[in-house]
Amino acid sequence: MMNVMVCVKAVPSTTEVKMDPVTKTIVRDGRQSVINPFDASALEVAVRIKERLGATVGVMSMGIPDTQRILRDCLARGADFGVLLSDRPFAGADTLATSYALMRGIDKVRARWAEQGSGDLSLVVCGKMAVDGDTAQIGPELARQLGFACVTSVCEVLEATEGALRVLREVDGGHEEVRVSLPALITVTKDVCNPRMPSITGVRFGMQGPVDVWGAADVGADPGRIGLTGSPTQVVRSFTPERASGSTPIEGDAHEQARAIVDMIKEMA
Amino acid sequence: MVEIKPLSADYEEYLRDESRTVGSAQSISFPRTEQEVREVLSQMSDAGVPVTVQGGRTGLAAGAVPDGGHVLNLSKMTRCVGLSPARVDESGAIDPDGAFLLTVEPGVVLSQLRKDIEDKNVDVRGWDEASLAAWRALCDAREHFFPTDPTETSATIGGMAACNASGARSYGYGPMRSHVTALRVVLSDGQTLALRRGQAVARGTSLDLVTEQGGRVHVDLPTYEMPRTKNASGYFCAPDMDAVDLFIGSDSTLGVITQVELELVALPRVIWGVSCFFADESHAVEFTRSARAALRDAKAIEYFDADALDILRAQRRASTAFAALPELRDDARACVYVELQCEAEAEATEELWKLGDVLTSSGGSEDATWVARTAVDRETQRFFRHAVPESVNMLIDERRKSDPTITKLGSDMSVPDECLPAVMRMYRETLAEQGLQSAMWGHIGNNHLHVNVLPRDAGDYARGKELFNRWARSVTEMGGAVSAEHGVGKMKRDFLRTMYGERHIREMARVKAQLDPAHILGLGNLFPPDTLPLPVGSEAAGHATDDGTREA
């Protein structure tokens, strides 16, 4: 039987996000947060694989304690267990520190599976990106940390077996069909499938099913590689860009136009 | 003075509404104020020109389709006029959880009103200090909403009052009438009535009204008994009734509504939608009956039959517009949607478990459900529910390409609670007997199903129409209503005669004659042409004038 992990993120439900003036990061009070829509599709991909091939599906997130609410909703929609990485030292993480923490969490889950004799991790499914940060970095970074092959922007799962996936991925100007051996990590677009709604049976499981909350020490994380300390990215300033109006027509042939643009960029710099 | 324009080709769209019937008219006006409405009505009354009142023209009963004369289109009367709290305590403080009363003009569109209330972005320019204070209190209070929710949100508030509109949530909140606390009405001679609930009440079946100009109008109310079910058929009547109720649902035949005071109520903090799928219609009916008794917080109970689900499945495969619909299980042959509204998640959860118990004991399964607890899921379910009628309309549009004379035939009848199984049996047996294709959906919680006959040719269409007449008779025998929410307009006036009988139709005509002695308002609505216009001095009109009961 396959073991699948899905990584999800709680994102603000509206576009009116509040920024912390000191840390320059998004204020996450949890009340308004919802599951990142790409991650909802990722969960659906995993649950469909579970229904077709038989699998255990775990769902993992890093966030404030209220994020358990979203993990429980994932259980209602077909996941078997949830893990929340929630600890003050995790706070302020950039994508590198986040993917490291997720890797540590996933390693702990793998160790548990090994102890239970339940086999190893076959597949990690992530949303292509989060709608708040828009980086699309977590999936590839996590794959690197896990040492898994990575296929990004999957828009259709054409075939799934216990040993491999055949998928269609979005690329510039079209699609690319890829066959990837497992274990692997894929990131999915929203179009990959319509997320299901939970049933009453699902809601019952969501309320009672297992959700663990692990801190940095629980997953044996190196304090230097998590949170703000472990984040090479530092947000220096965040601001709302002023809308510039007006346009400058550029005349001439392609060569002359390119030169004019280069000159303008030099001038701006 | 508002301009009276000839009804030229530029205004042809004002000869139609969503009933897909086309009328005729000689002139049209778009008043912006009540004073302008008065001027138009005085002028038309003097000239004896019939006046058809229009709002958003979204009605399905042709109430806004003119039958000659003048079209009085109120779509330019879109102001929100003022606000007051429904409750204040002894110190004068406003209860933020209580209702607020918003006064609007009739042309306000429902979707815009909802958005403005949700965004707390109502145009308050020109409001007095008391209204502004109430507005500030509403902005500080928890979210409020206007509960009446017809599917067509481009309907106007005036139109909704005129036909006593309702929607899915009428199961929990009642129809439009339950949320209107005051009206301003212009009578056909230009006099005005300011009606507030509790202030103009009938004594038995005798109602005396005084216009703001000092005119007195005596109305002899009809004596029929209203059906014990959701109803939008003809004039509301009951002993000691409120005058506000007479004008709501009157299909613009008694006066022109120029202001409506609406009740905005606190939005429940937790709203969960549950779609339950069944392998058999009888299980869905059994579930509905049990759920009504068991669920305290259900505010909507809606139904979709196997034919409706099959049409939806086909559209989902054929059209990318429906690709976002969730996949339906193959064994789903009936669906009941229940909306739970509670103050806390714990209460909603308790109701959900009760719903699950009822489901299991009615032949359903907790596995075959969709539970929407998030905004995204609620939107998906809304899309699903609205996709059903849309899919059926697309199917009919396709058929009309080969035979333009056919249209969908949609019923709007309701029966008392105990008759739900009987009426469902009647629909099934008669549709099968006639060999007609159909799709059924609607407000099963109120025993109010829209049975849609989908004619394949002119023969089907004729058989369908005849079947509707039979249903009207049977529903009447069950103590039901021939129109539960769309109003009667011009499309269902024959059903109205079946429902109330000749004597009671005459009583309704007398009410109209007393309030609109010139017989100019809503010509063709409610009454067949052979009932009205009644010449002045006839039995009904004479009653109004001979008693000296109508004097300006």
Domains of chain A: 2-243 (3.40.50.620)
Whether the CB-CB separation of A193 and B323 falls below 8 Å is answered with no
Give yes or no for a contact between A82 and A74, defined as CB atoms under 8 angstroms apart.
yes
What's the pLDDT score for residue B550? 40
Distance of CA B169 to the CA centre of its chain: 12
In this structure, are residues B479 and B415 in contact, taking their beta carbons and an 8 Å threshold? Answer: yes
> Which residues of chain B are in CATH 3.30.465.10 domains?
80-191+244-266
Contact B371 A196 (CB under 8 A): no
Q: Are B183 and B195 in contact (CB under 8 A)?
A: yes
Mean pLDDT across B332-336: 97
Residues of B in contact with A193 (CB under 8 A): none
Among partner residues B324, B369, B380, which is closest to A199 by beta-carbon distance?
B369
Q: Would the CB atoms of A194 and B374 count as touching at under 8 Å? A: no
Contact B511/B520 with Cβ under 8 angstroms?
A: no
Residue A48 with chain B: CB contacts under 8 Å: none
Q: Where in chain B is the domain with CATH 3.30.43.10?
A: 5-73
B371 and A200 within 8 Å at the Cβ level: the answer is yes
d(CA A140, CA A132): 18
* Contact (CB, 8 A) for B259 and B137: no
Give the chain A residue whose CA is nearest to the CA of B379. A197
**Mind telling me how many Å the CA of B118 is from chain A's nearest CA?**
14
Under an 8 A CB cutoff, do A197 and B359 touch? Answer: no
Each residue of B369-394: pLDDT tens digit? 999 999 899 999 999 998 988 888 88
- In angstroms, the CA B251 to CA B486 distance is 10
Q: Does A207 touch chain B (CB under 8 A)?
A: yes
How far apart, in whole angstroms, are the C-alpha atoms of residue A54 and residue B96? Answer: 52
**A and B: number of Cβ contacts within 8 A:** 52
Nearest by CB to A199, which of B370, B376, B380?
Answer: B370
Of all residues in chain A, the one with the smallest CA distance to B346 is A207
A200 lies within 8 A of chain B by CB: yes
Q: What pLDDT score was predicted for residue B96?
A: 87
pLDDT in tens, B405-419: 888 889 999 999 999
Top CATH class, B268-399: alpha beta
Q: Mutating which of A39, A199, A205 best tests the B interface, going by the most B Cβ atoms within 10 A?
A: A199
Taking the Cβ of residue A39 and every Cβ of chain B, the question of whether any pair is shorter than 8 Å is answered with no
* Per-residue pLDDT at A241 exceeds 80: no
A268 in contact with B, Cβ within 8 Å? no
Give the model's confidence band at A14: pLDDT under 50 very low, under 70 low, under 90 confident, else very high: low
pLDDT at B535: 36
Q: Does A155 touch chain B (CB under 8 A)?
A: no
The pLDDT tens digits of the residues spanning B124-140 come to: 999 999 999 999 999 99
The whole-number pLDDT of residue B548 equals 33
Check residue B407 and give its pLDDT. 82
pLDDT band at A247 (very low <50, low <70, confident <90, very high): confident
The burial class, CB within 10 Å (0-12 / 13-18 / 19+), for B198 is exposed
Global pTM value: 0.89
Q: Is the pLDDT of residue B475 over 80?
A: yes
The 10 Å Cβ neighbour count of residue B1 is 10
Q: Do B373 and A200 touch (CB under 8 A)?
A: no
Say yes or no to pLDDT of A175 above 50: yes
Residues 6+ apart with CB under 8 A from A208: none
Q: Which chain A residues have a beta carbon less than 8 Å from that of B367?
A: 199-201
Q: Would you state the pLDDT for residue B256?
A: 98
Contact B375 A197 (CB under 8 A): no
Distance in angstroms (rounded) separating the CA atoms of residues A17 and B146: 28
A208 touches chain B (CB under 8 A): no
pLDDT bracket for residue A131 (50, 70, 90): confident
Residue B541 has pLDDT above 50, yes or no: no
Residue B325 has pLDDT above 90, yes or no: no
Q: For residue range B67-118, list pLDDT tens digits in order.
A: 999 999 999 999 999 999 998 888 888 988 899 999 999 999 999 999 999 9
* Chain A residues with beta carbon closer than 8 angstroms to that of B274: 200
| Location of each CATH 3.30.70.2190 domain in chain B | 268-399
The residue of chain B nearest to residue A14, with distances taken between CA atoms, is B375
**pLDDT tens-digit readout, B424-466:** 999 999 999 999 999 999 999 999 999 999 999 889 999 999 9
B278 confidence band (pLDDT: 50, 70, 90): very high
Band of residue A23 on the pLDDT scale cut at 50, 70, 90: low
- Flag if B368 and A199 touch (Cβ within 8 Å): yes
Least CB–CB distance from A200: residue in B325, B366, B380 = B366
Task: Show Cβ contacts of residue B292 under 8 Å, excluding neighbours closer than 6 positions.
Answer: B298, B301, B417, B445
Least confident interval from A87-91, A205-209, B404-408:
B404-408
Q: Could you give the percent of chain B with pLDDT greater than 70?
A: 96
Q: What is the pLDDT of residues A161-171, one digit of tens each?
A: 999 999 999 99
pLDDT at residue B534 greater than cutoff 50: no
CATH number of B5-73: 3.30.43.10
DSSP B224: P
Chain A nearest CA to B69, separation (Å):
51
Q: B324: distance to nearest CA of chain A, Å?
A: 7
- Across chain B, mean pLDDT equals 92
Question: What does the pLDDT average to over B179-194?
Answer: 98
Task: Name which of A197, A204, A207 is nearest B377 (Cβ-Cβ).
Answer: A197
What is residue A63's predicted lDDT score, i.e. its pLDDT?
Answer: 95
CATH of region B80-191+244-266, choose from 3.30.465.10, 3.60.21.10, 1.10.579.10, 3.50.50.60: 3.30.465.10
**Residue A26 pLDDT greater than 80, yes or no:** no
CB contact under 8 Å between B349 and A201, yes or no, is: no
Contacts with B, A 76-95, CB within 8 Å: 76
CA distance B281 to chain A (A): 20
What are the two backbone dihedrals, phi and then psi, of residue B43, each rounded to the nearest 5 degrees? -65, -45
User: What mean pLDDT is predicted for residues B173-187?
Assistant: 97
Q: Which residues of A touch B377 (CB under 8 A)?
A: 197
Cβ-based burial of B201 (10 A; exposed 0-12, middle 13-18, buried ≥19): middle
Does the CB of A194 have a partner CB in chain B at under 8 Å?
yes
Best to test chain A binding among B354, B374, B381, B384 (most A CBs inside 10 Å) = B374
Q: Read off the pLDDT band of A17 (50, 70, 90).
A: low
Asked whether the beta carbons of residue A34 and residue B377 sit closer than 8 angstroms, the reply is: no
B-chain residues near A204 (CB < 8 A): 356, 366
Name the percent of chain A lying above pLDDT 70.
93
Count other C-beta atoms under 10 Å from residue A23's C-beta: 13
